Structure 1
């Protein structure tokens, strides 16, 4: 039987996180600590999907409430083997340009919140069973584009933080992965004018999360892998012409 590991999912109410929660339980038999601001929706999801309640502990977690993070971690019912950071927030770029509160919220959720809680988790050397930290990032963070550069900049910072954390944790043999995702059909992208042929389902991304192994950058979907490599290689004068 597979070892009954503990997975801490931060931002567990995202569509990808909820699918990952289900896969970790049903296919891995892991125990989940699901942490989110909206615990009622998580309880509803667990009940609707007939997931065993003894396998899921639901806790309140706000990525932007930095002062609460140390207490949150210290009070966990069990220290995790695996940590998934999936908290997300999206504000339209034009709105974010005019409303700094919206821009700042993206910065807090995607970067500052991740640094705050993950620093605490990384520095706990008493948790000798920590083996993996996985972050949900975005292709928007690969190159700056005029249509979404504020959101993209927060994801770029997130990815760079994970890159450094990977090096920092290497001596302790802790794997660090970033899922660099393209368009996901989710409540966060609902209503956006996105290319249908490029849309990926939350379950598809969730499986990439659960299967993440030694590779640092993981780009789910062959189309998005190609786009990722093209974006990285494009000269800046061509990137400037992108929407």
Structure 2
């Protein structure tokens, strides 16, 4: 039987790269996004999905042509930290896209015990959520909450044999980061992140790229007095 992958937030650069990899591996892909125009050129079944419209999530899930074997949550939204401090709606949108919307739809998917096919849930998170830093703590806090949710969901679903992974990514060359002043030596291509998604195994935390693996460990272990000096 052909396995089905449901990609939520399918219009992101990483998600589109993951679509191509999954299709090449023979999966049927259901690509869900608010913007469907760019998905029409891909060999997928495109469906409208708004992560922030919580009331629509049950109907969306019930309308899926096939219940998924694999789910990737890749929806993202970025508001500059200084702007977010002054714009509650911008802050709240990041919370809704990265955390509230994820919890809403993934709870529905995870609690469907009548779907015998579900084997894996993957969340695309960020190193910005590892430690609070003054330059991006609002965005980072939403990713941190998402990562912790996935950690608990992994334990909750363990007895059912369902794997939950979190891909903790560094700087990605994408439309979301376009125009930001980021170090070129640390930029990763969406296709590189997508390979980590598609090839995720049983481990919970996946950090793509050797440099970012080092940065991840340093951030986790760094004393707070040093974190306070980071930008």
TM-score (norm 2): 0.99
**Aligned residue number for residue 15 of structure 1:** 13
2-side partners of 1:40 and 1:185: how far apart? 21
Instruction: Note the aligned Cα RMSD (angstroms).
Output: 0.6
Cα-to-partner distance string for 1:81-140 (whole Å, 9 max, x where unaligned): 000000000000000000000000000000000000000001100001100000000000
**Aligned residue number for residue 33 of structure 1:** 30
Q: 1:132 aligns with which of 120, 126, 143?
A: 120
Q: How does 1:38-57 map to 2 (within 5 A)?
A: 38-44=35-41, 46=42, 53=43, 56-57=44-45
User: By how many angstroms is 1:43 displaced?
Assistant: 1.0
Runs of 4+ off more than 2 Å: none
SS in 2 for 1:84: strand
**Aligned residue number for residue 179 of structure 2:** 191
User: By how many angstroms is 1:148 displaced?
Assistant: 0.1
2-side partners of 1:121 and 1:11: how far apart? 15
**Aligned residue number for residue 189 of structure 2:** 201
Q: How many residue pairs were aligned?
A: 231
2-side partners of 1:178 and 1:37: how far apart? 23
TM-score (norm 1): 0.94
SS in 1 for 2:10: coil
Runs (5+) with no aligned partner, structure 1: 47-52
**Aligned residue number for residue 50 of structure 1:** none
